[in-house]
Chain A
Amino acid sequence: MSSPTRPAASGASTFLAAPSRSLRFGRFSTRLRPRHLVVVAIATLLSLAVAVVSAGIGDFTIAPGRVLEVLAGQGTRREELVIITIRLPRVLVALAVGLALGISGAIVQTTARNALASPDLLGVTAGASVGAVAVIILGGHNDGKVSGLLQSIGVPTGALVGGIAASALVLLLLRGRATSGLQPILIGVGVSALLGGLVSWMMVSASISDAARANVWLTGSLNGRSWNELWALLAVLAISVPLLIPLASRLGTLDLGGDVARGLGVPMLFTQGALLLVAIALASATTAAAGPIGFVALVCPHLARLASAASRPPLVASGIIGALLVVSSDLVARTVLAPIQLPVGAITALVGAPFLLWLLIRSRREVRR
């Protein structure tokens, strides 16, 4: 029996009718929040529009309408080379990176019950930086002792291994302890600071050109990204997102705090562990593809929560808003000082840092209230 919407509520209580509706297909049912759907729809349309515009802009500018025609297979060989071979993978990588970072950030903020938490605090970024910078600097030139092996590993793999190793260390230190409150954040800050020191040490001992390359990577950049990076990212997304579908329904309960969630029958260790692992996988994959792009994972969940008027960041909206933010920032980074291409992380930081300050000031005011 399928009744698409619930019958009208009787009496004064209409809360289930107004902010949410349920949808049922046989044994499957879900609750829909119209405002969340509107936010997702608008953000999706905007992301795609920016992606099309971005694919058309550059040394050889093509109007958005013509971009769509080229994508439909009606372009000249030259247009196809510019759009499909050069610009499209970069734009799609931007969308995928933003999607993964937004979802990852929303998971970490809800699981840690901390509005200022982000996957960075799990050591992902710092570990990936150590891995990538080690490959760039120690494996960069012919003088290196370890160059052969490190060069064959490649920067993305170095970042991936470093990110996963560092977050494993953080999870190990967190083991058996409360995942809410100040302690996990302090552990994350401590591990990140330690690894940051390692990065600085490698940078100081590197040649100027290696240090410059490492610095571009450390800011987070989409320059020259190709289909290979995209396939790797899509593979991680294709594994992570299905895992999230059963876990996502527990996020709202986790948000009530550990004691209440346990009382409601949520197996905490398994649920939190699985959610954090997915968040780490998503964040590590983006760092491997594009370097540590700052603030997206922190800011997008807040934007999604505020836009959807929800009590916790909705996963889908956080992801789509992440995609919109990264693809827009990349467009700006590529064009504002053309022909110089800024790293996309510089733009997200310029947008994200003021927002972070605003959040801090706002939360301090709430504490005082």
Chain B
Amino acid sequence: MTPSSPPTPGPHSTDVHESPVLETRGLTVQFGTTTAVSDVTLTVAPGSITAVIGPNGCGKSTLLRAMGRLTTPDGGTVLLDGHSIAKLPTREVAKSLGILPQSPLAPEGMTVGDLVSRGRDPHRRWYDQWSSSDETVVLESLRRTGMSEFADRQLDSLSGGQRQRAWIAMALAQGTDILLLDEPTTFLDVVHQLDVLELVTELHREQGITIVMVLHDLSMAARYADRLIAMRSGRVIADGHPTDVVTAAMMETVFELECEVLSDARTGRPVVVPIGRAAAEGAR
């Protein structure tokens, strides 16, 4: 069963400047006999910022990977501007959709500048390896992510937060309208989590990049995303604005979490205060 998702728009806009629409139709992914993602249909509106939440193993990461064609679905399709992503040349997809997998690992000794330059890959041919426009984009990506001064530094020598910024700079250099991020804040302390999510929302605001990210921190997700998709056992349980999705009842259904939901006075967004595991009868 699929929950109500935003209505699928009709034939999409012919305006060339419009960002492409990313959709899934009945998407199903299986690993052996377990179903990681089960019949998910949703539409990502251009220019939106969406967070996918859910307990470990709920299939949120697999959903994101399938949307970014890193995992081949066993059923259903992913559509990019109405075309099946599996049938589009992967290089063409890479020009409008970027995906950053969870904690990627750069080869030993690679510099930040080299890594960010790799983001230009989909835009260059083997005989035309470097142009001044590539260079402009790379320098701009470094500047926007605050990594200019680290361009010559090796990734191994940076802190976790800086390293994540470097990877985001690479994704930014790819120049895509859609960016999928798989747990961009894993292994970061709270300051660096804020730092990375501020950067992501800034890019979203200033450049209108459509963002879909998997996050494990509920309050962070509620604070930074316009739309939350809550998953459990491969299915979408709730989908909507954070204030509608993050309720005590929904948290109990999705996470088996007993919690109190407060409202952040400054942002107006819900904040989750955990109490304990909901399933236990005698918890109170």
Binding site for B on A (CB under 8 A): 6-7, 9, 11-16, 18-19, 22, 24, 27-31, 113, 245-250, 252-253, 255-257, 259-260, 262-267, 309-312, 366
Contacts and interface: CB of A to CB of B under 8 A. Distances in A.
Contacts, number: 122
Contacts of A266: 90-91, 121
A24 to B, nearest CB: 8
B264 interface: no
Nearest to A263: B99
B101 A260 contact: yes
Most chain B CB within a 10 A radius of its CB, from A14, A28, A262: A262
A311 to B, nearest CB: 4
B253 interface: no
B74 to A, nearest CB: 15
Given A259-B101, A263-B98, A265-B95, A9 B139 contact: yes
B193 to A, nearest CB: 22
Interface stretch (B3-11, B44-52, B126-134, B269-277): B126-134
Given A27-B128, A263-B94, A253 B70 contact: no
A27 B126 CA distance: 11
B12 interface: no
Given A22-B129, A255-B107, A264 B121 contact: yes
Given A22-B129, A30-B130, A245-B126, A265 B90 contact: yes
Contacts of A31: 129-130
Given A9-B139, A13-B151, A29-B129, A19 B118 contact: no
B135 A253 contact: no
Contacts of A253: 118, 121
Interface string B89-133: 111111100111100111111111111011101101011111110
Contacts of B105: 257
Contacts of A27: 127-128
Contact of A12 (B111, B118, B128, B148): B148
B68 interface: yes
Interface in B209-255: none
B152 A15 contact: yes
B281 interface: no
Contacts of B143: 13
A56 B259 CA distance: 85
A256 B118 contact: yes
A311 B107 contact: yes
How many interface residues does chain B have, given as a range? 35 or more
Contact of B139 (A13, A22, A263): A13
Given A27-B128, A264-B119, A259 B104 contact: yes
Interface in B156-186: 174
Nearest to B123: A265
A29 B152 contact: no
Contacts of B144: none
Contacts of B90: 262, 265-267
B142 interface: yes
Contacts of B129: 22, 29-31, 249
Most chain B CB within a 10 A radius of its CB, from A113, A250, A264: A264
B51 to A, nearest CB: 19
Interface of B: 65, 68-70, 89-95, 98-101, 104-115, 117-119, 121-122, 124, 126-132, 135, 138-139, 142-143, 148-149, 151-152, 174
29 contacts: A11-B148, A12-B148, A13-B143, A14-B151, A15-B111, A15-B152, A16-B135, A16-B139, A22-B131, A27-B128, A28-B128, A29-B129, A30-B130, A31-B130, A113-B107, A245-B126, A247-B126, A249-B126, A256-B115, A259-B65, A259-B99, A262-B90, A263-B98, A263-B99, A264-B94, A265-B94, A265-B95, A267-B90, A312-B107
A261 to B, nearest CB: 9
Given A265-B91, A267-B89, A310-B109, 8 more contacts: A16-B139, A18-B152, A22-B135, A24-B130, A29-B129, A247-B126, A255-B110, A263-B70
A259 B180 CA distance: 12
Contacts of A19: 111, 113, 152
A29 B91 contact: no
A246 B90 CA distance: 17
Most chain B CB within a 10 A radius of its CB, from A15, A246, A310, A366: A15
B114 A29 contact: no
A311 B119 contact: no
Nearest to B114: A311
Nearest to A31: B130
A227 B98 CA distance: 52
Most chain A CB within a 10 A radius of its CB, from B107, B124, B131: B107
A257 B103 CA distance: 11
A366 B105 CA distance: 15
Nearest to A246: B126
Nearest to A28: B127
A260 B104 contact: yes
Contacts of A18: 152
A12 B132 CA distance: 18
A263 B68 contact: yes
A29 B118 contact: no
Contacts of A24: 130-131
A62 B205 CA distance: 75
A16 B174 CA distance: 18
Contact of B109 (A247, A257, A263, A309): A309
Contact of A311 (B69, B108, B131, B152): B108
Given A19-B111, A22-B129, A27-B128, A264 B151 contact: no
Contacts of A14: 151-152
